Structure 1
Amino acid sequence: MRVLLEENLDWHLGRDLPEQQVESVPLLGWAGIQNGELLEKAIAAGFEVLVTMDGNMVHQQNIARYAIAVIALRAKSNRLDDTRPLMESIRVLLPRVKAGTVTFIPKS
């Protein structure tokens, strides 16, 4: 599965999903692209999941109209020490995510 880490997340998180093909927005040269355009580019590039800490994205975009699943992390900060503990939950969730849906981790 192709997973895209948004620019607000450390690319090192991809190492915690070794069975997935994980890339990051900055390493693709897509830094600064707005949410709607980013979703479109990700879909066109074959990504199936976008992982973000941008909780506003899900309110600003109608995710249901996009052919990509979004996982929104709820952590104290976007520092690796705060986000890495959530990666096991993502690993378990990935086989079940569906395009056009948003899943928050941890769930509230």
Structure 2
Amino acid sequence: MKNGELLARGEEEGFEVFVTTDKNLSKQQNLASRKMAIVVLSSTSWPRIQAAVDSINQAIETTLPGSLHEVRIP
């Protein structure tokens, strides 16, 4: 399934936020027309993601539909 299909399917199923590590997503998709908020994590390292869970949760809570928020994970 391609990104566009995955995003469309998520919206159809009622998802409000899409969390990904795909830093190129904004270049591949027109996100302004999306019903979901997009949260991009800067790391794929699970221990680093776990350590940044508060920042990730804040991004999930505050990012608006059709917008993208990058969470920088050290």
Counterpart code for 1:104 = E
Which consecutive unaligned segments of at least 5 residues does structure 1 have? Answer: 1-32
Q: How many residues align?
A: 73
Partner of 1:59: 27
- Structure with more helix by fraction: 2
Cα deviations by residue, 1:67-106 (Å, 9 ceiling, x for unpaired): 000000112xx23112222221021233321100000002
Which is bigger in relative contact order (C-alpha 8 A, separation at least 6)?
2
List, as ranges, runs of 4+ consecutive aligned residues in structure 1 with deviation greater than 4 Å.
none
Shift of 1:57: 1.0
- The partner residue of 1:95 within 50, 61, 73 is 61
Name the TM-score, length of structure 2 as normaliser. Answer: 0.88
Counterpart code for 1:93 = A
The sequence identity of aligned pairs, in percent, is 30
Name the TM-score, length of structure 1 as normaliser. Answer: 0.62
Which consecutive unaligned segments of at least 5 residues does structure 2 have? Answer: none
